[in-house]
């Protein structure tokens, strides 16, 4: 396959990317065919345009902090599980009704590998060491199963919550294989739909695409905001329309506490007539490196911690809370019509963000270089970049200890967001469920364990207690199993009943 004859060399020359063929004559026929296939699938004019815009935007925004342009989320668009307790039941019932009519779908962002966890497989396949050894994928699948069951019991009608799973090129096959081996964790196979986010080449600071080897480009997923392009070009929006989906819950795979298709969140957004909603947790420490949902120049967006000054991060309202306290947890609600508009109209207007990276590459001699400082950029879009297009945007505030514990890093002594913190967060939540349902724990001396409701200071190890999502989605339905009873840890409640596991695992 001669790149000159096929017109490929000409296209590369026009795009100023001819260097990608510099090792052509040293490649085997198979490598030449692979490189040709990769290059022919690319629109170099578009990629060069992305680079130019991304670099202009990033050089413009580096110097300028957002402070003067920001306003906090107004109270009238905010729903809160602590401040609006009297509405929670209504919201939950409204959400369950939508679920019972098969109008709610779930969209999982699962493109990440567990590299920082020290594993090469997709993060959703990770086992954080619960007594049951369930993976994140299984926990989430069982929450969907339970929610379908709750909606069916309440409304006496069969329903389905389709699960759309966005993987990356690197995680697609292993994810599909994992679900297939586990029989989709009890879900219907045709209601679990996999699709793949796009990839973009990494580029040096001059806009040249980087070669990671003589015949291979350095490619990276296009960020979780690549979702919108993938929804269009992989027919997912069409599939949603065919199924009659009206509302979509989008979330990231790494949160072990995620309330998948949370009926209260869905119901709140639907009752407010929202086309877009963000679930947030209260940011209590000004220096916590989390993005906050707020208004910038009158439009909603997420402002990263690095984009504001410390003085703004530390501002407090009259009630003592941080003024900018709506911590973004990558957990969103979209109406179908809004999502379709994004895909069909607004997606091309979304800017790429620039991430400066150390990118391994081959030099002019074909030697592999592993740089020790950033030598190029990866371009990505963010899922929350579309808030600006919403006509009715709402924010739903939940308790961090009940709903947010992300898994990002391998275990270490002072580790944050590790398998241990995720496992402890889930067991602590389940301990609180047992206490709320009238159960108690006793230690090896037969004394009742004091009811410490949450791991606020991080020093108390949680009671070992795990409740299968198949038994309870959010703490409901446990009274008949635990009320007035005393348990020794480890307590397991699953579809086979209530059991205490003694030390040696019997």
Measured distance CA(305)–CA(344) in Å, rounded: 31
pLDDT value, residue 460 = 64
- In percent, the amount of the chain with pLDDT more than 90 equals 86
Rounded to the nearest 5 degrees, what angle is found at the Cα of 173, between the Cα atoms of 168 and 174? 95
Task: Assess whether pLDDT exceeds 60 at residue 456.
Answer: no
From the CB of residue 123, how many other CB atoms can be counted at a distance below 10 Å? 24
pLDDT value, residue 229 = 96
Helices (DSSP H) in 28-84: which residue ranges? 29-40, 44-63
Task: Assess whether pLDDT exceeds 90 at residue 72.
Answer: yes
Render pLDDT for 241-262 as a digit per residue (tens, 0 to 9). 999 999 999 999 999 999 999 9
What average pLDDT does the segment 306-334 reach? Answer: 95
β-sheet bridge partners, residue 295: 71, 300
Backbone torsions φ then ψ of 469, nearest 5 degrees: -60, -25
Helices (DSSP H) in 299-449: which residue ranges? 310-313, 336-341, 400-403, 419-436
Sheet harboring 491-494: ordered strands across? 465-467, 491-494, 497-500
What average pLDDT does the segment 156-163 reach? Answer: 97
pLDDT value, residue 444 = 84
Contact 139, 256 (CB under 8 A): yes
Q: Name the average pLDDT for the chain.
A: 93
Kindly provide the residue ranges of all beta strands, DSSP E only, lying in 84-228, ordered along the sequence: 104-109, 163-167, 192-196, 199-201, 203-204, 211-213, 216-217, 219-221
Least confident among 64-78, 323-337, 464-478: 64-78
pLDDT value, residue 506 = 42
pLDDT value, residue 66 = 87
Q: How confident is the model at residue 413 (pLDDT cuts 50, 70, 90)?
A: confident
For the record, the structure tokens of 430 come out as 């389940």
pLDDT value, residue 377 = 95
Contact 328, 292 (CB under 8 A): yes
Enter the pTM of the model: 0.94
pLDDT value, residue 505 = 45
Task: Assess whether pLDDT exceeds 50 at residue 111.
Answer: yes
């Amino acid at each position: 396959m001669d790149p000159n004859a096929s017109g490929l060399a000409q296209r590369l020359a026009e795009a100023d990317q001819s260097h990608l063929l510099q090792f052509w004559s040293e490649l085997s026929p198979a490598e030449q065919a692979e490189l040709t296939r990769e290059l022919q699938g690319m629109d170099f004019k578009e990629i060069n345009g992305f680079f130019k815009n991304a670099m202009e935007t990033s050089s413009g925004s580096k110097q300028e902090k957002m402070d003067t342009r920001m306003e906090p989320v107004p109270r009238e668009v905010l729903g809160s599980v602590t401040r609006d307790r009297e509405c929670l039941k209504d919201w939950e019932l409204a959400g369950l009704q939508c679920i019972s009519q098969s109008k709610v779908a779930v969209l999982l962002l699962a493109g990440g590998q567990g590299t920082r966890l020290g594993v090469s497989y997709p993060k959703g396949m990770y086992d954080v060491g619960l007594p049951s050894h369930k993976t994140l994928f299984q926990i989430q699948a069982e929450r969907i199963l339970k929610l379908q069951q709750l909606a069916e019991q309440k409304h006496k009608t069969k329903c389905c919550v389709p699960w759309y799973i966005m993987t990356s090129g690197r995680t697609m096959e292993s994810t599909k294989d994992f679900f297939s081996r586990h029989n989709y964790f009890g879900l219907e196979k045709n209601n679990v739909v996999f699709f793949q986010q796009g990839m973009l080449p990494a580029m040096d600071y001059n806009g040249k695409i980087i070669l990671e080897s003589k015949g291979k480009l350095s490619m990276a997923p296009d960020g979780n905001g690549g979702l919108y392009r993938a929804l269009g070009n992989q027919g997912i929006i069409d599939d949603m329309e065919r199924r009659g989906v009206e509302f979509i819950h989008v979330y990231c795979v790494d949160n072990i506490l995620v309330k998948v298709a949370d009926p209260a969140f869905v119901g709140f957004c639907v009752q407010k007539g929202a086309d877009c909603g963000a679930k947030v947790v209260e940011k209590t420490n000004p220096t916590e490196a989390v993005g906050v949902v707020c208004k910038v120049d009158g439009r909603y967006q997420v402002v990263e911690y690095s984009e504001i000054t410390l003085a703004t991060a530390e501002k407090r309202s009259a009630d003592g809370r941080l003024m900018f306290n709506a911590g973004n947890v990558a957990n969103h609600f979209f109406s179908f019509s809004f999502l379709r508009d994004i895909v069909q109209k607004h997606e091309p207007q979304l800017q790429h963000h620039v991430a400066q990276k150390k990118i391994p590459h081959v030099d002019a001699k074909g030697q592999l270089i592993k740089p020790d400082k950033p030598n190029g950029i990866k371009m990505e879009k963010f899922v929350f970049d579309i808030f600006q297009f919403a006509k009715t945007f709402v924010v739903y505030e939940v308790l961090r200890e009940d709903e947010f514990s992300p898994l990002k890093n391998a275990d270490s002594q002072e580790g944050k967001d590790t398998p241990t913190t995720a496992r402890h967060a889930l067991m602590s939540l389940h301990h609180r469920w047992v206490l709320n349902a009238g159960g108690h724990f006793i230690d090896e001396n037969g004394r009742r364990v004091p009811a410490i409701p949450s791991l606020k200071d991080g020093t108390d190890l949680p009671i070992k207690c795990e409740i299968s999502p198949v038994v309870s989605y959010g703490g409901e339905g446990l009274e008949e199993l635990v009320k007035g009873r005393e348990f020794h840890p480890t307590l397991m409640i699953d579809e086979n009943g209530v059991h205490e596991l003694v030390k040696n695992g019997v």
